[in-house]
Structure 1
Amino acid sequence: MGAMSPKQDLPVSRAVLVALGIEIVLLIAGSVAIANAKSNPAPVADQSVELSFEDPQPKKIEKIEPKPQPKPVIQPVIKHHIATPMKTVAPQPVPAPAPIRPIPVVNTPVAVPVVAPPPPPPPPTVNNEAAEKEASFAAQLKAAIITARIYPAAARMMGTHGKTKLGFTFLDGVSSQIHIIKSSGSTMFDQAAIQAVTAAPVPPIPESLKGKRVNYEVEVVF
């Protein structure tokens, strides 16, 4: 390249001068500012810068299980008792027991429940018609015996009297086993009573007594 001309060197020197002037002004201004700052320090504003960083990929939150805490050990509390001296108590006199009075025993009558006797059993069922016929036959037979009696002639002459009670068995119109239950005291009267039983006519026998053995008693009066 060739040498620069004097016209081209003029702008360069002006620029250099301008730059130097600016630097000088800045230096002066800086020194003045430092001096003012030393004399009147200005409060410094709190400037906080918030920085946020976003994670492009969300992280998985892991579940943290709580660790088991050890159980506290309870220490037994031991209480210390201070032994107090025992006081000696003088024995008190024991009063004599009161005499026990006997309680009179009153014998109260005990009510005994009255138990009614059981009712008598009902009488056996009997054919009333047959019973009536048998009773009527017995009365007729005894009347026939008394009618058939023969008063002993010797006793009639002597004017004596007597009464004999006899017993006998009757079966189908025949009287047997004749015996004296109570004697009259006279052989004549007792024999006359036995003959009256054998000689008496037999009334009609009811059907209920046929083939039936019956015992009778009769009293013969002379």
Structure 2
Amino acid sequence: MNAAPPLPLQDLGQLIQDGRQPSKGKPALLLALVAEAALIGLLLWESNRSTPPPPPALPPMTLQLVQPEPPKPLPPAPPKPKPTPTPPRQVAPKPTPRPILRPAPRPTPAPIKTVTPPSPLPSPVQAPPPPPVKETPPPSPPPVSAAVKTDYLAQVKGAIQAAVHFPEAARMLGQSGKVLVRFYLQDGRISRVSIVQKGSLDDFNAAALAAVRQAKLPPVPAGLQGKSFDLQVWVEFVLHDS
């Protein structure tokens, strides 16, 4: 059964306004109540018409596990081809050796006679070489007198004594002394210096060796050049009163 269409809102409002007037009495009040009820129904009807119907409920879904398909069997491998047998190699027959033909022997030629040339004339006799000339050694220097040697050695001893430096420690102690020194002398050069007898102080020994090595020797005489002397000299340390 279809419901009657509701009244327009303007007519309902007019009816409500007319029913609220006090001059109409009770019928007018009832009419106003009816109009309000109609207005509420109209509003509900409008709200129901504007609301969309709910969506239809979806049917329940069921999940089903899908089992994987079993692997397909592989096709059988093709059979391997059989190797074809290799035919045996045919060995060629060895050639027959041919006979070796040797040449006929040649006749030996007659020996040729060689003519010897005449012997050359004898060469003239060469004179023997002259005998080597013997080099005569330079004349030896005249022998040196003993006086020259003694004078030269005295000059050497004087040069050594002149090179003596008195040790300062011995000077402060007021001591004197002497040292016996041995050395070799050749061509104005002194070598292999050593002490034969030490002095009373070690400073005397060191000063004596220094005096022998630092002495200014005199020139070597002509007759004493090339000769060596093994000498022993007393180096004296005398404290002079100042």
Q: TM-score, normalised by structure 2?
A: 0.38
Q: TM-score, normalised by structure 1?
A: 0.41
Q: Which has the higher contact order (CA 8 A, sep 6+)?
A: 1
